[in-house]
Structure 1
Amino acid sequence: MSISRTAPGTLTRIALSLMLAASLSACSMFSSSDKQKDETEGLSAEAIYQKAQAAVKATDYQKAIKLYESLEARYPLGLHAQQAQLESAYAYYKYDEPDTALDMVDRFIRMNPGSKDMAYALYLRGLVNFNRGSSLVDRVFPRSIADLDIVRQKEAFHDFSRVINRYPDSPYAKDAQLRVQYLRNTLAESEVNVAKYYMQRGAWLAAFNRAEYAIKHYQGSPVVIDALEIKVQAAQQLGKADLAADSMRVLEANFPERAAKLKAGK
């Protein structure tokens, strides 16, 4: 008598099929009960906005983002939708999504050029760029901002400068001024550090240009003194006596002690 047998591989496939079928059946049983009702259904724009604001206050930024998105989707033409664009940008910023935050701010600026909240929009854009790149390691072991993303810091400098120049009486101008001063110093420091690097390698023209850039764009920074010294030394190495003399005159007029030390070779 012959006994028919099922191959082991076939048994495995049958078992897997039964398990999959059971899983799909369970999903279908609970999908309707697990599905949450949209909490914004039937709510006014004001009500959704207030719920989103409450979520921000509770630091539940993920929930706030969803509510602002629902508000824009349900009431795209209302004033609350305009405000939701800006508020969601802030929520994305706090949720550590800087790229999306910048996109939202830029969209608000582009779509609402005459908005009364433009000062805040520019200030928020500056904040996103200012804090961009700050990781947990940076919070535990703080480092100079001059070591971070220079392009974004220059963007922040530009954003805060626009707040100061366009909206000097806004409530954001004072803080923007403090941040501009801080950025001016650190960006100038970064430029001078690069100039010093070029000096060490004998790249005199590159050093001269970076020092000149720091002086031109970051007036008032303490490291402008170093930039002037670099210009004098680099010009001398390049055989540009007139340029060296001009920079030395500026150094003598503004920082006579440093000029004397440089002449003495100290």
Structure 2
Amino acid sequence: MKRLTISSLLAVSLLVGCSSSDDVIPDIPPSELYAQAQVSLQAGNWTSAIERLEALDSRYPFGAYSEQVQLDLIYVYYKNDDLALGLATIERFTRLNPTHPKADWVLYMRGLTHMAQDRSFMHDLFRVDRSDRDPEPARSAFKDFKRLLERYPNSLYAEDAQTRMYALKNRLADYELATADFYLRREAWISAINRCQELQRTYPDTEAARKSLTIMLSAYKELKLEDAIKRTEELIALNPQ
């Protein structure tokens, strides 16, 4: 029996994903189609919900359900890990409905979606340390949650956004620490010191900031900068790990 390779499986999944929902969803009244989508959504059947919501969105783009369909799509795309589609729908909805009553929720979902982009199933599965991975999605998520707190401080999602910002701050600080360590191992002493100093300024209350002092001390010792060595040793004594 011929074994399917990962690339083969991906090709099959892409072909399936490219099929139009209009080809499989019957032509029924929008109210009935929306009711079916809600049943699927409540059951956690994201694929079925997406098919029906996409059919509604394409067939009745300016119908009575238009705004709610887009909001539902934002949610089910996130739950189904269709993150690029989720972000595209968020951008479209925000552009068309800048003052919508659920604008805070949409911004919150934008943060969640960006945050999810920083996650990798394979990394989670094999417990791979992701501190040295590109943190751009994490930076975007941090900005989204910060904007939410600034614009909607009394939002129902403000408290959770604040909690997520704390986690993201540590994620970003860990990346800076990994970068500083990379420079140290490459004997780029000045670059390592500069990265540590930037980390300490930007994320001073993180574990990574404390750990960066050790990297900075090593770089100073290589450069034989006695005054800097002494100052850093004093900082380490004041900030034990």
Give yes or no for the alignment of 1:103 onto 2:88: yes
Contact 1:211 1:231 in 2 (8 A): yes
SS at match of 2:206: coil
Of 209, 214, 217, the residue aligned with 2:199 is 214
Counterpart residue number, 2:211 = 226
Secondary structure at 1:156 match in 2: helix
Per the TM alignment, residue 191 of structure 1 is displaced from its structure 2 partner at its CA by: 0.5
Aligned to 2:143: 158
Q: Deviations over 1:192-235 (max 9, x none)?
A: 12112212322122212322332233232122123345456646
* Residue 161 of structure 2 corresponds to residue 176 of structure 1: yes
Does the 8 Å CA contact 1:119/1:167 hold for their aligned counterparts? Answer: yes
Shift of 1:188: 0.5
Structure 2 unpaired stretches of 5+: 1-22
1:165 Cα shift? 2.4
| Counterpart residue number, 1:257 | 238
The question of 1:73 aligning with 2:58 is answered yes
Residue type of the partner of 2:231? M
CA separation in 1, counterparts of 2:176 and 2:25? 55
Aligned partner of 1:127 in structure 2 is 112
The code of the aligned residue for 1:257 comes to L
Structure 1 segment 30-109 matched on structure 2, within 5 A = 38-39=26-27, 41-44=28-31, 47-78=32-63, 80-109=65-94
Question: What CA distance in whole angstroms lies between the structure 2 residues aligned with 1:36 and 1:194?
Answer: 49
Which stretches in structure 1 are left out of the alignment for 5+ residues?
1-34, 260-266
1:181 CA drift (Å): 0.7
Q: Does 1:138 align with 2:123?
A: yes
Equivalents in 2 of 1:233, 1:135: separation in Å? 33
Displacement of 1:88 after TM fit? 0.7
**1:34-55 deviation digits (Å, cap 9, x = unpaired):** x86725x2333xx443332221
Letter in 2 for 1:192: L
Query: In the alignment, residue 50 of structure 1 is paired with which amino acid?
Result: A
Question: C-alpha offsets along residues 158-201 of structure 1, whole Å, 9 cap, x if unaligned?
Answer: 22222222222212112211111111112101101211221232
TM-score (ref. length: structure 1): 0.68
Work out whether residues 53 and 73 of structure 2, in 8 Å CA contact, stay in contact via their aligned partners in 1.
yes
TM-score for both structures, normalised by structure 2: 0.74
Using the alignment, how far apart are the partners of 2:118 and 2:209 within structure 1? 27
In 1, distance between residues paired with 2:171 and 2:46?
A: 31
Structure showing greater radius of gyration is: 1
Alignment CA distance shift 1:180-1:200 (3 Å): same
Please state whether the residue corresponding to 1:152 is helix, strand or coil.
Answer: helix
Corresponding position of 1:185: 170
Alignment check: 8 A CA contact 2:123 2:129 kept: no
